[in-house]
Structure 1
Amino acid sequence: MAVLSTGGPTPPPTGPAPRRVLLVSRDEELDSLLAGRRVAAHLAGLEETGDEARPGGDGPPPDVALVCDDDAATRRLLELGVPVVRLSSGHRAAVEPAADRALHRVHRPGWLPGPWPATPGGARTTGVLAPARSARGRDRHGSLLLLSLWGVPDAEADPFTSGPLRQLAAEAVRRTQRCEVVCDTRLDRVRDALEGLDGVRVRRAADTDVDALHAGTELLLAAPTLGAVALAQARRAPLALLPPLGDRQRDLAERVARAVPVPVAADPHDPSLWAPGEPGAPDPWAALDGAADDLRGAQRVARTLRQLSLAPL
């Protein structure tokens, strides 16, 4: 039986309005960006709200907020009465205390070797914040060079970008035909260092879907960051770590080396650096097979946000 339209106004939707979530992360920090995006991919049932819901904006406050690393935003949202999940996205040898009344979550793979100090203030570790999609393209080619210079002293960042970075990008093009360079901060400095290299493209991390870009590339060269390690682990993909810059990267690189045989790109012309991209190469992540549940960190944080939006503390 056909139902004819009466031409009248469309009735308003029935049922409760969707709960609104605000996502805050640092655009200048690779780990912060990746953590926020990976959690957001699992927020079905929550409506993401924009800048108008931030403290000082024109819109009503959100029902719940995920704040990656930004203590000032955490405090302002708590003052507005917004329940907050405060996520520490990057590697820390110790865990800093979170603002009062925020639920503190710490991105830390379960397999990453300690020792670790006690987490203060009820902070909980998440496991691995993995990308929502683990599949990679069949026709992968080229290299992705994922660079994080957040918090790196100038005395280390400048010599690396002017020397080893250019050599690595040039060798990546020679070996894999192209190289996508994605960095979080000091973008102009990186562009200048790589100027004139054919086959090299430089992108800003805040404007790039890093996880999607990685799905179509053959080899990942990455700074020692949790977001990059999680990306390679979840996809069982080859990874070579860039020489660590700054104390945090050095500490993380040392811990990863104790658990996973990941090569370090100290010499761009070392053939073994490029061997993980070859067919039949050993899987460096095989030793971590027992930690499959550890890959569900993003889902766990998203579940906490949904629960908090319905029943604030």
Structure 2
Amino acid sequence: MPANGEGEFPAHGPAPVRRRLLLVAAPRRLDSVTARRRIAAHLREMDLVEDTGGTEGREWIRKDADLPDAALVCDLPAVARELTERSVPVVYLHSGYRARGLPAVTAAAVRAHAPAWLPGPRATGPDGARPAGLLAPSRLARDRTRTGCLLLVSGHRAPGHDLAAFAEGLLRTVAEEAVRRTGRCDVVCDGEVAVTAAALAHTTGVQVHDARTADVDALHAAARVFIASPTLTSLTLAQSRRAPLTLLPPLDHDQDDLARRAGQAVRLTTVTDPADPALWAPSDTDAHSAWSGLGPDDLRGAQRIARTLRQLALAPIAF
């Protein structure tokens, strides 16, 4: 009998099996969750399981779990090891730039995310991590009718009392000034989101987002002013779109080190006086010139990691 019951066999055979990929990131770390989102944007043909609930892939490591065909693990070496032990091919991404920052990792492929222009030693480790290139947004254009301000805050390593003091002090002042100058302010934060949200709860015109679920790239494309913690996420956004960036004061040693190194290569300003008119009228022309002066950089890191994940899911033995 014809398979379709109407006198003809189907023109095509069975639909190809869709591969399932698990994407896990350190849930309290801005650079990790941003990297996961940017890589996922290039894997739409796959069945993606993104762990945004903070379980760090644990439910997929259980012995009775229906395991994925491959996994991306960002900054969680223990998760990479456990998945590898369950025979899941893993791409491990290290969000860092410091030579001592890369831990021993068990994975099929290890990549390190950092700008090539950043002064100082590259992140290396016993597993021979390869540079990933910049994980740029999938969409590089910014909205023509940009409004408002994006405040990108990373405090995942800051002690709770330090983060609370920062949020209730300088951050709230900057957010209030942002609303006054630009009309609105989106604040995206990692770590203790509740601390920042509580400090800004009564500030009209401010919306606080959790970095685990917020589309930072889209918010940046729509914002006229960008003020951010010194992170790979903020540097990558500004460089890939050649857009103005003003840094918030560092909240931990790594942020301080990153700001210092970045400042050796490109001119970046840090918020000192939130009422300074220059802070709210950044020059796109100056920013374009500053970022262009760094020379070309590889912006295709997300596409390349996505390609590696595809290869692992389809032919892990041949990888």
Aligned equivalent of 1:40: 40
CA distance in structure 1 between the aligned counterparts of 2:287 and 2:103, rounded to whole angstroms:
40
Aligned equivalent of 2:177: 171
SS at the partner of 1:85?
Answer: strand
Task: Check 1:223–1:157 CA distance in 2 against 1; reply closer, same or farther (3 A cut).
Answer: same
- Structure 1 unaligned runs (5+)? none
Aligned equivalent of 1:237: 243
| Deviation (angstroms), 1:121 | 1.6
| Deviation (angstroms), 1:102 | 3.7
Counterpart pick for 1:298 among 287, 302, 314: 302
- Paired letter, 2:316: P
Checking the alignment, whether the CA contact within 8 Å between 2:95 and 2:113 is kept in structure 1 is yes
TM-score, scaled relative to structure 1: 0.89
Does 2:254 align with 1:248? yes
Counterpart pick for 2:269 among 242, 256, 263: 263
SS at the partner of 1:295?
Answer: coil
CA RMSD of the aligned region, Å? 2.6
Checking the alignment, whether the CA contact within 8 Å between 1:95 and 1:120 is kept in structure 2 is no
Aligned equivalent of 1:211: 217
Checking the alignment, whether the CA contact within 8 Å between 2:163 and 2:195 is kept in structure 1 is no
Does 2:313 align with 1:309? yes
Checking the alignment, whether the CA contact within 8 Å between 1:25 and 1:36 is kept in structure 2 is yes
Task: Check 1:9–1:246 CA distance in 2 against 1; reply closer, same or farther (3 A cut).
Answer: farther
Does 2:77 align with 1:71? yes
Task: Check 1:73–1:279 CA distance in 2 against 1; reply closer, same or farther (3 A cut).
Answer: closer
SS at the partner of 2:212?
Answer: helix
TM-score, scaled relative to structure 2: 0.87
- Between the aligned residues of both structures, percent identity stands at 49
Checking the alignment, whether the CA contact within 8 Å between 2:60 and 2:67 is kept in structure 1 is yes
Checking the alignment, whether the CA contact within 8 Å between 1:146 and 1:181 is kept in structure 2 is yes
Report 1:1-313 matches (<5 A): 6=6, 14=14, 16-49=16-49, 54-56=60-62, 59-116=65-122, 118-276=124-282, 278=283, 280-283=285-288, 284-291=290-297, 294-313=298-317
**Which has the larger displacement, 303-312 or 50-59?**
50-59
- Paired letter, 1:225: T
Q: Deviations over 1:207-227 (max 9, x none)?
A: 211111111110111111101
- Structure 2 unaligned runs (5+)? 52-56
Q: Deviations over 1:178-201 (max 9, x none)?
A: 111111122221122123222111
